Amino acid sequence: AQSVAQPEDQVNVAEGNPLTVKCTYSVSGNPYLFWYVQYPNRGLQFLLKYITGDNLVKGSYGFEAEFNKSQTSFHLKKPSALVSDSALYFCAVRLLGSSNTGKLIFGQGTTLQVKP
Amino acid sequence: DTAVSQTPKYLVTQMGNDKSIKCEQNLGHDTMYWYKQDSKKFLKIMFSYNNKELIINETVPNRFSPKSPDKAHLNLHINSLELGDSAVYFCASSPGREVSYEQYFGPGTRLTVT
């Protein structure tokens, strides 16, 4: 079955330290990978995506993610965490269906807690 | 200006009632979606419309019926509400149906069925 997994329910990091939120995927064919962030009582906001090309993708708010085909991973990273980065992060994979239409399949989410 | 808006933001109703949630996007996008987020924050696609045409119809009870009067609006009607329907429902839109497009989400509608 095609899926995406976020192995950590919660990640804790001190402000100023680097952060990593992990994501692994299982799809047939080329993956189309996304990261979204959800702040409390808000909708999801798009952070970045990997479609093709450079394995290191840069996105909003200083976040980046590295696509690793051999490890089937797409980990989200930031060199220096801010308290305001504290939120729920979702990794997602877009499945290629008929007529180039695809469902977005989400991981279970990882809560990032950045402490001052 | 709000890009994707939903009304109402909160909806509390009793079992057996029928209710609707409305969604509007002013981004000029062709494709719109409905998602359900359960109490464990798990997100699942329900429906998708492209230019008023239904293109994704997940396995949801037929008590749920989406309607798209035009490509800027996608409403969700729910008949005979059940306790298990309590969730946050998110509307989203994207420029088109292609898999490379990111989606823009509304603020959500928190539905509580008592």
- 3-state secondary structure labels for all residues of chain A: CCEEECCCCEEEEECCCCEEECCEEECCCCCEEEEEEECCCCCEEEEEEECCCCCEEECHHHCEEEEECCCCEEEEEECCCCHHHCEEEEEEEECCCHHHCCCEEECCCEEEEEEC
pLDDT band at A97 (very low <50, low <70, confident <90, very high): low
Please give the backbone phi and psi of residue A85, each rounded to the nearest 5 degrees, phi first. Answer: -80, -10
Q: Is B99's CB within 8 Å of A46's CB?
A: no
Whether A113 and A49 have beta carbons less than 8 Å apart is answered as: no
User: Which secondary-structure segment (H or E) carries B60?
Assistant: none
pLDDT value, residue B58: 86
Name the B residues in 59-88 with CB < 8 Å from any A CB: none
Over residues B84-110, the pLDDT tens digits come to: 999 999 999 999 888 889 999 999 999
Share of chain B above pLDDT 90, in %: 84
pLDDT value, residue A84: 95
pLDDT value, residue B59: 81
Mean pLDDT (chain B, rounded) = 94
Closest CA to B106 of B88, B91, B94: B91
Report, as an integer, the average pLDDT of A10-31: 94
Mean pLDDT (chain A, rounded) = 92
Chain B residues lying within 8 Å of A96, measured CB to CB: 99
A22/A84 Cα distance (integer angstroms): 19
Chain A residues lying within 8 Å of B105, measured CB to CB: 36, 43-45
> Between A95, A101, A109, which is nearest B41 by CB?
A109
pLDDT value, residue B34: 97
Over residues A48-90, the pLDDT tens digits come to: 999 988 999 999 999 999 999 999 999 999 999 999 999 999 9
Report, as an integer, the average pLDDT of A14-40: 94
pLDDT at A98 over 90: no
* Sites in chain B below the pLDDT cut of 50: none
pLDDT at A100 over 60: no
Whether A78 and A64 have beta carbons less than 8 Å apart is answered as: yes
Report, as an integer, the average pLDDT of A12-28: 95
